[in-house]
Amino acid sequence: MKQRVTVFGLAILLVILLISCIQRETVGTGAVVIGIEGPKWRLVEVSDAPVSPQPGERLPFITFDATNKQASGFAGCNNFFGSYELDGSSLKFGPVGTTRMFCEGAAGEVEMRFMESLEQTRTWELRDSALLLLDGSRVLARFTKVHDEQNIQAITGTVWQWVQTLYNDNRKVVPKEPKNYTVQFLDNGKLTVDADCNQKGGTYSIRDKRLSIEMTHSSMATCPERSLEDEFVRGLSGAAIYFIKDGDLYIDLKYDTGTMKFSKQTEE
C-alpha cells in the first residue's frame, strides 16, 4: 500500500511539472518559442480604438527582425523603423524614426497613437493568437498575425460577382443578374456582400488556399420570390478552398459539394 501511494505521488508531481513547463511556454516567455519575431503583425486596435482603414488603404503593421533587433513597419501614413530590446516578456523600443510624409485626418491620428504605444511599451503578450503591447496591465495596441499575404492580395481590392454554382450532382445555379450578387474581401479581414436586395457583412480568414467565411450582419429587406439570396449566402458560408483561374475566382464548398464561380465586376 505504501509503495502504491509513493508511485501515485510521483505521478502527480510529474503532471504538475509538465503543466508548469507548458504554461511557461504559452505566456510570452520568449519570442523564439512564441514567434513574435519574423511574422508580419497587422494593427487592429490602438488606445482602445479599432483600426479600420477605408478599402484600398494600407493597413498599419509591424515586423521584428530577430537578427538585427530592428522593428519596422507602416504607421498609418509613414513607414517607421527603430531598435528594440526583447528579454522574455519584456519589450522596449529604442528611438523610432519615420519617413516625412505629412499626415492628417484619421490616418494621422492612428499614426500618432501607434507611435505613442511603441514609446510606452514595456511588455508583450500573446492572447487568443493576438499580439498585445502592454504598459503594465494596460493594453496599448493589439495586432493579428498576417498569414499568406500574397494569397490575400490576390482576392482583395476586387468586387467579385457571382457567375454560377455547379454542384457535384450536376445541378447548376445561375443568377439572372450577376451584378446583384457580389462579394468584396477587404484588407482588414472583413468582407461586404450584396445578396440581391440585402447588404451583408462578415469576416474571412485565409490559410494557404483554405478560405473561411463568417457572415455577421445583414439588412432585412424582403427579396422577390425567385431571389437567390439564401443560395448565395449559404454558398459563401460553406467556403472551404479558393483558387484563381484565368482571372476568375473559384470557391470550392465544404464536403466537396460544389464550386462557386465569380468574375471581376467592371464599372458600367
Q: Is 263 exposed, middle or buried (0-12, 13-18, 19+ CB in 10 A)?
A: middle
pLDDT, residue 226, reads 94
Q: What is the pLDDT of residue 54?
A: 64
Tell me what pLDDT residue 150 has: 63
- 176: Cα separation from own chain's centroid: 34
- pLDDT at residue number 27: 39
pTM over 0.85: no
pLDDT digits (tens, 9 = 90+) for 106-132: 889 999 999 999 999 999 999 877 899
pLDDT at 55 (0 to 100): 56
CA–CA separation, 178 vs 208, rounded Å?
28
Q: How far apart are CA 66 and CA 76, in angstroms?
A: 24
- pLDDT for residue 180: 97
> How far, in Å, are 29, 40, 89, 156 from residue 123 at the CA level?
10, 18, 5, 34
Q: What distances in angstroms separate CA 146 from CA 44, 129, 193, 207, one per listed residue?
A: 11, 11, 23, 10
**For residue 24, what pLDDT is reported?**
37
User: What pLDDT is recorded for position 59?
Assistant: 83
Give SS3 for 190. strand
Q: How far apart are CA 126 and CA 36, in angstroms?
A: 9
- pLDDT tens, 192-213? 999 999 999 998 888 777 899 9
Domains parsed from the chain with CATH numbers: 28-146 (2.40.128.270), 150-264 (2.40.128.270)
Regions of the chain short of the pLDDT cut 50:
2, 5, 7, 13-33
